[in-house]
Amino acid sequence: MRQDDFQPGGDRFPLTRRSVIEAARSIDREERERALEALCAAYWKPVYKYVRWRWNWAANDAQDLTQGFFAELLERELLDKFDPKKSRLRTYLRVCVDSFVMNEDKWGRRQKRGGNILNVALDFAAAEEELGATTIDPAKIVSPESLEEFFEKEWVRSLFALAVEDLRQLCEQRERTRTFRLFEAYDLEGDEKSSYDQLSKDYGISVPDVTNALAWARREFRRIALDRLRELCGSEEEFHREARAAFGWDTR
């Protein structure tokens, strides 16, 4: 394994992102669309699952409503109305989803919207499979606490999935695919039988190499996840609060 696999310096991937709130208020339409793409990448699954769970819409209708919601975010410039001093971004978006779904249903304006939202691939089949594996207590389905908890849980799941994919791409770019496979095997898929000794045997490397590789991958994953989180927050204070609440990480 190459020595620079374990060095924290060097090129940074991905570059620190501008807040989607700042970008959404740009006079440049392309920048506003890029902000929506970043927002959609992190939130489309939570929104879709929320529409299915909270509003009990069939899968096809929920797909159309999900795509329609993000289109409306851009068309009506709803992010311009967000005030980070009053709420968290994810709470604001959930309230916007509720309003959008109620209006669409009231006026019967649901449309078939084929394709993806901008350049974000939407794997609704995978989202539906994940939703089917979710245990939901019907008695708590309409309580404000459970709605917020459900949306937050799915948002964190989505954010972590994006960070894992970023890490995979980083490892590929730096020719460290084995490092990612070790991280995947131990941290993502591992069970009580997983051990550094077993990984050492499976991959034909020393235990210290396994230790160093996993330490590097975890460090980079943490950085990437926090970088994506910062992009999705309206202020530094919200970023630190969300990092502590969602990940238990002290970012100060």
Neighbours of 51 (CB within 10 A): 23
Q: Which two tokens stand for residue 122?
A: 């939407």
- Give the tens place of pLDDT for each residue, 241-252: 889 888 887 776
Angle at the Cα of 23 (from 31 to 165), degrees rounded to 5?
80
Buried b (16+ CB within 10 A) or exposed e, 144-165: eebbeebbbebbbebbbebbbe
- Give the tens place of pLDDT for each residue, 121-139: 889 999 999 988 876 665 5
Tokens 């989180």, located at residue: 229
Q: At what angle do helices 196-203 and 207-231 cross, to 10 degrees?
A: 100
Which of the 8 DSSP states describes residue 117?
B
Q: What's the rounded Cα separation, in Å, for the pair 42 and 120?
A: 10
Grouping H, G, I as helix, E, B as strand and the rest as coil, residue 250 is: coil
pLDDT of 113 reads 53
Q: Give me the helices (H) in the chain, please.
A: 20-24, 29-54, 59-75, 89-107, 124-132, 144-173, 177-183, 196-203, 207-231, 236-247
Question: Smallest Cα–Cα separation from 171: which of 46, 6, 56?
Answer: 6
pTM of this prediction exceeds 0.85: no
Angle at the Cα of 108 (from 105 to 114), degrees rounded to 5?
95
Neighbours of 194 (CB within 10 A): 13
Tokens 């034909």, located at residue: 204
pLDDT of 164 reads 97
Which domains does the chain carry?
A: 17-128 (1.10.1740), 141-252 (no CATH)
pLDDT in single tens digits along all 252 residues of the chain = 333 333 333 343 334 456 888 888 888 888 888 888 889 999 999 999 999 989 989 999 999 999 999 988 888 888 888 988 888 899 999 999 999 999 987 776 555 555 556 668 889 999 999 988 876 665 555 677 788 889 999 999 999 999 999 999 999 999 999 999 999 999 999 777 789 999 999 999 999 999 999 999 999 999 999 999 999 988 888 899 889 888 887 776
Q: What's the rounded Cα separation, in Å, for the pair 50 and 56?
A: 9
